[in-house]
Structure 1
Amino acid sequence: MAEIKYEIKQNLGIVSEGAKGWTKELNLISWNGREAKYDLRDWAADHQKMGKGVTLSTEELRTLKEILNGMDELQ
């Protein structure tokens, strides 16, 4: 399996922190030298290990923001 290379260009915020010190973060990340995209996933404190997450383009993030802004209240 090929090695995945990534570079965190900007940390936009921490959404939550788990009991073992991992944090769920929204970051702007370049994967394998490509254009940076928005990424939400769990990270170990040293950012050497990561959990599964979701990567979004700018347009997808804007659409998600519109959906969230349109919610009257959380279920």
Structure 2
Amino acid sequence: MAGIKYKIEENEGVLSESAKGWKKELNLISWNDREVKYDIRDWAPEHDKMGKGVTLTRGELKELRNILNNMNL
């Protein structure tokens, strides 16, 4: 993406993969040299292109975990 700087600090895991090789990943990312946040989005195989996603602080990720743990899946 033009004008946006990012650095994937840590890959936490892959949630799914499309037939075209794009992967939905949970990563710890620094956006524009800011503090790292957790990020869920689709990535091209070389991490040179990305889809829309959601970025979460550590606290928000903990709340999401609590919500998911309480769901009847």
| TM-score category, normalised to shorter length | over 0.9
Q: Output the amino acid matched with 2:13.
A: G
- Root-mean-square deviation (CA, aligned residues, Å) is 0.8
| Residue 62 (structure 1) aligned with residue 52 (structure 2) | no
Q: Distance in 2 between matches of 1:72 and 1:42?
A: 26
How many residue pairs are counted as aligned between the two chains? 72
Q: What is residue 41 of structure 1 aligned with on the other side?
A: 41
Q: What is residue 25 of structure 1 aligned with on the other side?
A: 25
Q: Distance in 2 between matches of 1:16 and 1:36?
A: 23
Query: Please, which runs of 5 or more residues in structure 1 have no aligned partner?
Result: none
Quote how far apart the aligned CAs of 1:72 are.
Answer: 1.6
Say which one has the larger Rg.
1
Quote how far apart the aligned CAs of 1:47 are.
Answer: 0.1
Q: Distance in 2 between matches of 1:34 and 1:72?
A: 36
Q: Deviations over 1:1-21 (max 9, x none)?
A: x60000000000000000100
Q: Output the amino acid matched with 1:17.
A: E
Question: Given the two structures, how large is their TM-score scaled by the length of structure 2?
Answer: 0.96
Match of 2:15, SS state, is strand
